[in-house]
């Protein structure tokens, strides 16, 4: 198991948001997390990626215990995530957004003598990453100049830049129209060969089409887990995501 | 609105027109200052405050941490310089070294307390820390001379091998300050155009995302603050020499606020050179408007309020919009590889 | 222990006045999510306005001025005590109007604006009343000392504490028992909802800032006979106010009051051991509290956290 979360318990104030959640993600697969709004899946995501520390339970990445570690440590260990509503570094160019995420750039951070694009290899690596999401020709545009769909792509590119062992995507189809969703599906399909992906999604069709395994979170617990075909037959799943299953 | 990130992404070359202009203006200041009708000492004040402001903007503009108590570090430098002359030795470099060291040390401690926080907590805590310094400076009578401060701080001569240059003359002292300022600005220019500068800006825009990129955000916040305090300390040492004294008032909230206002009005939020313009604006207000009315600070404060309300990009921001309004294409972030320079 | 009694009393008195200051500050933070760095200057402004109302120094030469000064000090003082805060409140409303362009922008702009306002107000005070130290005249009945239980207490401080307590209760009643108070509390909680219910949000903000400023001004009138009247007397007001709402939690009325009493006691008691350094205790307390615990003792998650 590449990633394992065991008995995760999280409360905010007096409200228990996650109750005894255990999840595991095998390498080389695409995993989906779904569930109605307010079910706790966003919190779950945040806890898994290190934004919040769980009150109880443990999280392991490739055998290493990452429970309670700060986000930057976890990121350096190979976990990357995209955000649904967080802004990119809007003031900067698309390529700069990606550059900042490259591990090689990080090491040069205190290098006073060099310029931002001084290292040709790094710059090319950044363009290469942008190429993976189809944005190589937009590398030198300001992040705010990109279309919404392109920004979502850039969001993913930034997550890819660190060559993660596991990639967490937070509602990647959010705000995309039919065409954008189709393009994203094609992108995920390309990426799945190289990366282990975990996605939260609302779009059932998208998830069922791409994921190898899906888990359903409702009322702060995992109420179902398995392959898409199994879940279609599950009545609890049908109940909790009423009307949305294809 | 343009932003700090619009600073050219081409190499951190020191051969930009702005730097050239800046250095030329610095070098000829004694001449043109008097020609316009000002006086030599103003040049010294400008140099010292620009030094302070440029270092401060690393924190305020680049990494976006708003310290309202930075006068404490200028003051620490000033006091350290004065006390060094009094208790250790009358020495120019010794004193300046002590000034920078003291301010850096003070800044490092403050940075350690502050860097976990951001936003409003950061700002208020910086005020609290600044007040602790100010208060201590007044109460530690025996060390700091209380409300009156240290008096009779000398300007030690500058020793260049066998040559010894007397700095009591304002013009000579000005060139000394200007020289240090020039070096500081060149250093800062390289720094902000290096990856370090980009990281600072990333943290300003989105601290959480920066963390998720694997960056040790706390360290950068700490470093930016401490570095800005170091510059403040150097300015403080020069200040003590310029005024031949060090007193608590520079650490007051009032004074700390002035640097914030200068930097914002000048356009520090969007431009490397903003602080320079802001300091000039302040001294113009003080000496030109102040010559006409004693309400000059009131007007400067009102100007600040209007700027925050309508044009927070400041003078530098307004200037950058001129080409657009004149119909000329602006410098956009064009694709340039580093080898182009 | 009884040796500490006067210091504890001083501390509690100070605490009650801090509560007054902090409540005004908290209302502004609650409804507008703005940290009013001009709170201290409004505090000072209130005191100086009271001075002018009582002493009428501008109008001294006029017929009105002469007549006015003939009136008993008590009457003039009462007018000063009641009118000065109102005028300070009006000044606060002007600041709120200036703040309007910054709503919706990052919190930095509001902070900078109130900071600029603080400087402008302080400078106005300096230009109008001069930089020297002045005295606020106080009726004779409130002066002097009184003997209680073998210890000497300043009559004025008893008055100050009592008056502050009354005002605090009045504010509480206002918030809890009146419609306006309810709207303010709702506005602090959810401004969108308030707007949806048909209340004029802009006017609400104006009123709340005015109220907050007025409370600051009132605290100024009362504290200044103890602290002295100088243009920068307000510089040590924002720090305790902020400390108090951090400790007590934004939105918790009694949390603020308790925290204020605690801070006041801290200053008062440190006055027993290191009188010259007493005021520093609240800055150190701020650094400690903000450094380690920024959520507050009684309040919910603060809007200050971004």
Strand partners, A64: A61
In the predicted model, residues of chain B with pLDDT beneath 70 are: 1-13, 323-341
pLDDT at B12: 58
Q: How confident is the model at residue C123 (pLDDT cuts 50, 70, 90)?
A: very high
Whether B197 and chain A come into contact, CB under 8 Å, resolves to: yes
Range of lowest pLDDT (B277-291, C158-172, C275-289): C275-289
Is the torsion defined by CA of A140, A142, A143, A146 positive or negative?
negative
Interface confidence (ipTM) of the complex: 0.88
Cβ within 8 Å, pair A112-B190: yes
| pLDDT per position as a tens digit, C131-160 | 889 988 888 888 888 888 777 888 898 999
Cβ within 8 Å, pair B119-C306: yes
Number of domains observed in the structure of chain C: 1
| pLDDT per position as a tens digit, A14-36 | 888 888 889 999 888 999 998 88
- Domain span including residue C206: 5-305
Q: How confident is the model at residue C274 (pLDDT cuts 50, 70, 90)?
A: confident
Helix (H) or strand (E) holding B95: helix B92-114
Alpha carbon of B243 to those of B41, B81, B90, B282: distances in Å?
10, 12, 16, 19
| pLDDT per position as a tens digit, B54-106 | 999 999 999 999 999 999 999 999 999 999 998 988 888 999 999 999 999 99
Query: Are residues C31 and C25 in contact, defined by beta-carbon separation less than 8 angstroms?
Result: no
B neighbour chains, 3+ CB pairs within 8 Å = A, C
Which residue from B minimizes the CA distance to C287?
A: B125
User: In this structure, what CATH number is given to the domain that contains residue C225?
Assistant: 1.10.3470
pLDDT at B47: 95
CA distance C74 to A178: 77
CA distance A94 to B101: 40
Q: Are strands A64-65 and A30-34 parallel, antiparallel or unpaired?
A: unpaired
Q: Give the mean pLDDT of C99-103.
A: 90
In the predicted model, residues of chain A with pLDDT beneath 70 are: 86, 108-116, 118, 236-246
Cβ within 8 Å, pair A72-B5: no
Residue B38, C-beta contacts closer than 8 angstroms, at least 6 positions apart = B287
Which residue from C minimizes the CA distance to B111?
A: C291
Write out the two tokens for A51. Answer: 């934004």
CA distance B224 to B219: 9
User: Percent of chain C beyond pLDDT 70?
Assistant: 93
CA distance B245 to B146: 12
CA distance C304 to C225: 33
pLDDT at C190: 72
pLDDT at C150: 75
Cβ within 8 Å, pair B309-C304: no
- The CA-to-CA distance between both ends of chain A, in Å, stands at 30
Residue A25, C-beta contacts closer than 8 angstroms, at least 6 positions apart = A1, A2, A3, A4, A31, A166, A196, A198
> Among C39, C101, C112, which would you mutate to test the B interface (most chain B Cβ atoms within 10 Å of its Cβ)?
C112
pLDDT at B83: 93
Cβ within 8 Å, pair B10-A117: yes
Closest chain B C-alpha to A122 CA, distance in angstroms: 11
Q: Are strands A166-170 and A79-81 parallel, antiparallel or unpaired?
A: parallel
Strand partners, A217: A222
pLDDT at A114: 64
DSSP readout, B165-201?
E---SHHHHHHHHHHHHHHHHHHHHHHHTSHHHHHHH
| pLDDT per position as a tens digit, C248-262 | 887 789 999 999 999
Nearest to C54 by CA among C229, C234, C237, C232: C229
Whether B330 and chain A come into contact, CB under 8 Å, resolves to: no
Nearest to A157 by CA among A181, A135, A140: A135
Which residue from B minimizes the CA distance to C40?
A: B253
> Among B187, B209, B221, which would you mutate to test the A interface (most chain A Cβ atoms within 10 Å of its Cβ)?
B209
Chain B positions in Cβ-Cβ contact with residue A164 (cut-off 8 Å): none
Taking residue A27's Cβ as centre, other Cβ atoms within 10 Å add up to 12
Cβ within 8 Å, pair B5-A91: yes
Whether B248 and chain C come into contact, CB under 8 Å, resolves to: no
Q: How confident is the model at residue C306 (pLDDT cuts 50, 70, 90)?
A: very low
Nearest to C283 among B131, B261, B297 (CB): B131
Taking residue B332's Cβ as centre, other Cβ atoms within 10 Å add up to 10
Nearest to C187 by CA among C169, C177, C175: C175
Q: Is the pLDDT of residue C16 over 60?
A: yes
Taking residue C246's Cβ as centre, other Cβ atoms within 10 Å add up to 26
CA distance B300 to B269: 18
pLDDT at A234: 76
Whether B305 and chain C come into contact, CB under 8 Å, resolves to: yes
Cβ within 8 Å, pair B202-A89: yes
> Among A80, A109, A164, which would you mutate to test the B interface (most chain B Cβ atoms within 10 Å of its Cβ)?
A109
A&B contacts, CB < 8 Å? 127
Q: ∠ CA(B288), CA(B294), CA(B300), 5° rounding?
A: 65
pLDDT at B331: 38
CA distance C208 to C215: 10
pLDDT at B338: 28
CA distance C205 to C27: 10
Strand partners, A24: A4
CA distance B199 to A44: 29
Please compute, for residue B23, the number of CA atoms within 13 A of its CA located in the half-sphere on the CB side. 13
Cβ within 8 Å, pair A106-B194: no
Cβ within 8 Å, pair B264-C112: yes
CA distance A91 to B157: 47
The DSSP letter of residue B303 is H
pTM (2 d.p.): 0.89
SS3 C149: coil
pLDDT at B337: 27
Chain B positions in Cβ-Cβ contact with residue A111 (cut-off 8 Å): 194-196
pLDDT at A183: 86
Write out the two tokens for B5. Answer: 């990130």
SS3 B293: coil
SS3 A167: strand
CA distance C169 to B1: 48
Taking residue B338's Cβ as centre, other Cβ atoms within 10 Å add up to 18
Chain B positions in Cβ-Cβ contact with residue C290 (cut-off 8 Å): 117, 121, 124-125, 128
Query: Are residues C77 and C159 in contact, defined by beta-carbon separation less than 8 angstroms?
Result: no
> Among C94, C101, C108, which would you mutate to test the B interface (most chain B Cβ atoms within 10 Å of its Cβ)?
C108
Nearest to B198 among A96, A103, A120 (CB): A96
Please compute, for residue A227, the number of CA atoms within 13 A of its CA located in the half-sphere on the CB side. 4
Cβ within 8 Å, pair B253-C277: no
Cβ within 8 Å, pair A115-B338: yes
C neighbour chains, 3+ CB pairs within 8 Å = B
Q: ∠ CA(B122), CA(B125), CA(B127), 5° rounding?
A: 110
Nearest to B202 by CA among A132, A90, C136: A90
Chain B positions in Cβ-Cβ contact with residue A88 (cut-off 8 Å): 206, 209
Crossing angle of helices C155-177 and C253-273, rounded to 10°: 160
pLDDT at B324: 61
pLDDT at C243: 92
> Among B115, B193, B214, which would you mutate to test the A interface (most chain A Cβ atoms within 10 Å of its Cβ)?
B214
A-contacting residues of B 238-257, CB under 8 Å? none
Query: Are residues C125 and C48 in contact, defined by beta-carbon separation less than 8 angstroms?
Result: yes
Alpha carbon of B161 to those of B38, B91, B158, B172: distances in Å?
34, 14, 9, 18
Nearest to A75 among B12, B194, B212 (CB): B212
Strand partners, A34: A216
Chain B positions in Cβ-Cβ contact with residue A105 (cut-off 8 Å): 195
Helix (H) or strand (E) holding A60: strand A56-61
Find the DSSP H helices in chain A. Answer: 41-48, 71-76, 94-101, 103-107, 120-132, 148-161, 178-191, 204-210, 228-233, 235-240
How many residues are there in chain B?
Answer: 341
Q: Give the mean pLDDT of C280-301.
A: 69
Alpha carbon of B53 to those of B95, B259, B267: distances in Å?
21, 6, 11
Write out the two tokens for B157. Answer: 């001569």
Query: Are residues B235 and B53 in contact, defined by beta-carbon separation less than 8 angstroms?
Result: no
With tokens 């802009």, the residue in question is C202
Alpha carbon of A72 to those of A171, B315, C98, C122, C124: distances in Å?
22, 37, 40, 44, 49
Nearest to A70 among B5, B10, B211 (CB): B211
With tokens 């065991």, the residue in question is A6
Cβ within 8 Å, pair A91-B205: yes
Q: Give the mean pLDDT of C280-287.
A: 90
Residues of A with CB under 8 A from a CB of B: 49, 51, 70-72, 75-76, 80-81, 83, 86-93, 96, 99-101, 103, 105-106, 108-120, 123, 139-140, 142, 158, 162
pLDDT at C184: 83
With tokens 């440190």, the residue in question is C270
Whether B115 and chain A come into contact, CB under 8 Å, resolves to: no
Cβ within 8 Å, pair A76-B214: yes
Cβ within 8 Å, pair A115-B202: no
CA distance C44 to C50: 10
Q: How confident is the model at residue C298 (pLDDT cuts 50, 70, 90)?
A: very low
Residue C198, C-beta contacts closer than 8 angstroms, at least 6 positions apart = none
């Amino acid at each position: 198991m590449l990633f394992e979360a065991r008995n995760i318990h999280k409360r905010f104030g007096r409200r228990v948001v996650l109750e005894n959640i255990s999840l595991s993600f095998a390498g080389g697969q695409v995993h989906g997390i779904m569930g109605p709004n307010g079910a706790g899946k966003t919190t779950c995501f945040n806890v898994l990626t290190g934004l919040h520390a769980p009150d109880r339970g443990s999280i392991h990445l490739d055998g290493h215990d990452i429970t309670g570690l700060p986000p930057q440590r976890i990121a350096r260990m190979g976990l990357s995530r995209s955000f649904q509503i967080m802004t990119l570094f809007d003031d900067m160019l698309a390529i700069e957004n990606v550059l900042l995420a490259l591990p090689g750039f990080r090491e040069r951070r205190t290098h006073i003598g060099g310029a931002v694009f001084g290292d040709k290899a790094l710059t090319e690596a950044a363009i290469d990453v942008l190429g993976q999401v189809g944005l190589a020709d937009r590398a030198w545009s300001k992040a705010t100049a990109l279309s919404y769909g392109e920004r979502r792509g850039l969001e993913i590119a930034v997550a890819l830049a660190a060559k993660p062992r596991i990639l967490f995507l937070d509602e990647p189809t959010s705000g995309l129209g039919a065409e954008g969703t189709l393009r994203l599906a094609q992108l995920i399909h390309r990426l799945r060969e190289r990366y282990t992906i975990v996605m939260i999604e609302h779009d059932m069709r998208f998830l069922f089409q791409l994921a190898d395994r899906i888990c359903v979170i409702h009322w702060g617990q995992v109420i179902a887990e398995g392959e898409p075909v199994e879940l279609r037959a599950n009545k609890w799943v049908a109940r909790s995501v009423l009307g949305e299953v294809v | 609105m343009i932003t700090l990130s619009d600073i050219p992404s081409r190499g951190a070359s020191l051969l930009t027109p702005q730097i050239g202009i800046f250095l030329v203006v610095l070098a000829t200041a004694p001449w043109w200052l008097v020609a316009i009708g000002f006086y030599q000492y103003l040049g010294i004040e400008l140099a010292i405050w620009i030094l302070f402001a440029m270092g401060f903007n690393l924190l305020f503009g680049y990494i976006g941490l708003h310290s309202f108590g930075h006068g404490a570090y200028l003051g620490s430098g000033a006091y350290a310089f004065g006390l060094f002359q009094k208790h250790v030795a009358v020495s120019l470099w010794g004193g300046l070294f002590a000034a920078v060291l003291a301010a850096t040390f003070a800044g490092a401690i403050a940075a350690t307390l502050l860097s976990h926080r951001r936003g409003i907590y950061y700002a208020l805590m910086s005020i609290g820390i600044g007040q602790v310094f100010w208060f201590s400076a007044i109460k530690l009578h025996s060390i700091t001379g209380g409300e009156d401060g240290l008096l009779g701080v000398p300007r030690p001569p500058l020793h260049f091998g066998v040559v010894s240059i007397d700095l009591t003359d304002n013009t000579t002292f000005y060139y000394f300050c200007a020289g240090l300022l020039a070096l500081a600005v060149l250093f800062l220019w390289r720094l902000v155009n290096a990856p370090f500068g980009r990281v600072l800006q990333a943290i300003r825009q989105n601290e959480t995302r920066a963390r998720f990129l694997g960056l040790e955000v706390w360290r950068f916040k700490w470093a930016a603050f401490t570095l800005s305090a170091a510059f403040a300390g150097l300015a403080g040492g020069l200040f003590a020499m310029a005024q031949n004294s060090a007193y608590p008032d520079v650490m007051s909230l009032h004074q700390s606020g002035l640097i914030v206002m200068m930097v914002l009005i000048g356009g520090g939020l969007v431009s490397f050179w903003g602080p320079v313009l802001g300091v000039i604006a302040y001294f113009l207000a003080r000496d030109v408007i102040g010559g006409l009315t004693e309400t000059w600070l009131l007007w400067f404060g009102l100007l600040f309020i209007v700027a925050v309300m309508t044009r927070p990009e400041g003078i530098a921001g307004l200037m950058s919009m001129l080409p657009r309004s004149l119909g000329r294409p602006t410098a956009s972030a064009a694709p340039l590889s580093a080898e182009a320079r | 222990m009884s040796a500490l009694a006067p210091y504890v009393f001083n501390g509690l008195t100070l605490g009650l006045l801090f509560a007054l200051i902090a409540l005004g500050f908290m209302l502004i933070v609650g409804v507008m999510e703005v940290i009013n760095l001009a709170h201290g200057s409004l505090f000072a402004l209130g005191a100086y306005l009271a001075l002018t109302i009582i002493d009428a120094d501008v109008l001294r030469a006029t017929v009105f001025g002469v007549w006015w000064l003939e009136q008993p000090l008590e009457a003039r003082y009462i007018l000063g005590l009641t009118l000065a805060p109102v005028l300070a409140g009006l000044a606060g409303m002007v600041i709120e109007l200036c703040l309007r362009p910054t709503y919706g922008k990052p919190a930095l702009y509001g902070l900078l604006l109130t900071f600029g306002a603080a400087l402008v107000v302080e400078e106005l005070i300096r230009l109008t009343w001069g930089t020297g130290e002045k005295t606020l005249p106080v009726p004779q009945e409130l002066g002097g000392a009184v003997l209680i239980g073998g210890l000497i207490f300043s009559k004025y401080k008893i008055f100050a504490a009592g008056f502050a307590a009354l005002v605090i209760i009045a504010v509480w009643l206002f918030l809890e028992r009146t419609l306006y108070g309810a709207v303010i509390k709702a506005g602090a909680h959810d401004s969108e909802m308030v707007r949806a219910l048909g209340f004029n949000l802009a006017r609400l903000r104006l009123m709340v800032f005015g109220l907050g400023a007025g409370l600051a001004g009132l605290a100024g009138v009362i504290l200044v006979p103890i602290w002295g009247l100088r243009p920068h007397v307000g510089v040590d007001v924002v720090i305790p106010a902020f400390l108090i709402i951090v400790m007590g939690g934004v939105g918790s009325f009694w949390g603020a009051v308790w925290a204020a009493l605690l801070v006041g006691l801290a200053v008062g008691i440190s006055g027993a051991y290191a009188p010259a350094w007493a005021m520093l205790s609240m800055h150190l307390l701020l650094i400690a509290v903000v450094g380690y615990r920024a959520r507050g003792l009684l309040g919910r998650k603060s809007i200050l956290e971004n």
